[in-house]
Amino acid sequence: MTTQEWGPERAAAMAAELEGARALDVVRWALAEFGEEICVASSMQTAVLEDLVSRVRPGVRVVFLDTGYHFAETLGTRDAVALAYPVRLVDVTPRRSVAEQDAEEGPRLYERDPDRCCALRKVEPLERALTGYRAWVTGLRRADSTIRAGTPVVTWDARWSMVTVNPIAAWSDEELAGYVQARGVLANPLLQLGYPSIGCAPCTRPVAPGEDPRAGRWAGRTKTECGLHG
């Protein structure tokens, strides 16, 4: 099966067919459909995706974007995941180190132009990392934010020209927490320190009780997404 056989209409039809299916069954379908030409994108907030895919097929590649700005806890979670789950961790780095970017763009680009910083340290590296794959699995959930409320289980990403699979799209916060507890899933310790959504350290702050879970991302700005998901 070739990439050309997939597109918006087929993805939408499959999303409708899989709506309401268990996350494990969505993963099982995706791995059967795309074989070795699928990977998982992980932010190392929890290892839910790693747990799901390894239950179906050990050895699936897990892409982690090492931006150079991560919390130590996030890098520690990445290292623990690599040891605890039968997955193939793929560390992806930007073309330039933080020091090289500072020299060329000026220091603290994340403050002056966060969109460009994300483009250089997340979007471009991911584009390279996804080359050769026909599909990727993400942890997007409708409960994450209003902008993600319509997230389908399967969608066609025209920018990457590939299928995006969101097996836990319909999970509530309670369902996510329940799965983590029931399966003993590794989780980033920052989740217990007031960080319900974890990004790069300079652009992420703790969230106060009652605040939107993503209020700590790019606080004080209208920016709500890094650009990886549209």
Q: How confident is the model at residue 3 (pLDDT cuts 50, 70, 90)?
A: very low
What was the pLDDT predicted at 53? Answer: 98
pLDDT tens digits along 10-28: 999 999 999 999 999 999 9
Mean per-residue pLDDT, 208-229 = 67
> Does residue 40 sit within a domain?
yes
What was the pLDDT predicted at 217? Answer: 76
> Does residue 161 sit within a domain?
yes
> Does residue 87 sit within a domain?
yes
Q: How confident is the model at residue 219 (pLDDT cuts 50, 70, 90)?
A: low
Buried b (16+ CB within 10 A) or exposed e, 120-146: bbbbebbeebbeebbbbbbbbbbbbbe
Mean per-residue pLDDT, 143-152 = 87
What was the pLDDT predicted at 108? Answer: 95
What was the pLDDT predicted at 222? Answer: 59
> Does residue 133 sit within a domain?
yes
In angstroms, the CA 137 to CA 157 distance is 12
Phi, psi of 104 (to 5 degrees): -90, -35
Place of tokens 């910083």: 117
What was the pLDDT predicted at 225? Answer: 53
Q: Is it the case that residue 189 has pLDDT exceeding 60?
A: yes
Q: How confident is the model at residue 113 (pLDDT cuts 50, 70, 90)?
A: very high
Whichever domain contains 109, its CATH number is 3.40.50.620
> Does residue 108 sit within a domain?
yes
What was the pLDDT predicted at 182? Answer: 98
What was the pLDDT predicted at 228? Answer: 58
Tokens standing for 165?
């699979």
What was the pLDDT predicted at 58? Answer: 97
What was the pLDDT predicted at 127? Answer: 93
What was the pLDDT predicted at 220? Answer: 63
pLDDT tens digits along 191-205: 999 998 899 999 999
Catalytic annotation, residues: 226
What range does the domain containing 107 cover?
Answer: 3-193
Mean pLDDT of the chain: 92
Global pTM reads 0.90
Mean per-residue pLDDT, 127-141 = 95
Percent helix / strand / coil, the chain, rounded to 5: 45, 15, 45
The number of distinct structural domains making up the chain is: 1
Mean per-residue pLDDT, 165-173 = 96
What is the three-class DSSP state of 222?
A: coil
Q: Is it the case that residue 4 has pLDDT exceeding 70?
A: no
> Does residue 214 sit within a domain?
no
Q: Is it the case that residue 74 has pLDDT exceeding 60?
A: yes
For 151-215, give the DSSP string. --SEEEETTTTEEEE-TTTT--HHHHHHHHHHHT--B-GGGGGT-SS---GGGB----TTS-TTT
Question: What does the CA dihedral 199, 204, 209, 212 come to, rounded to 10 degrees?
Answer: -60
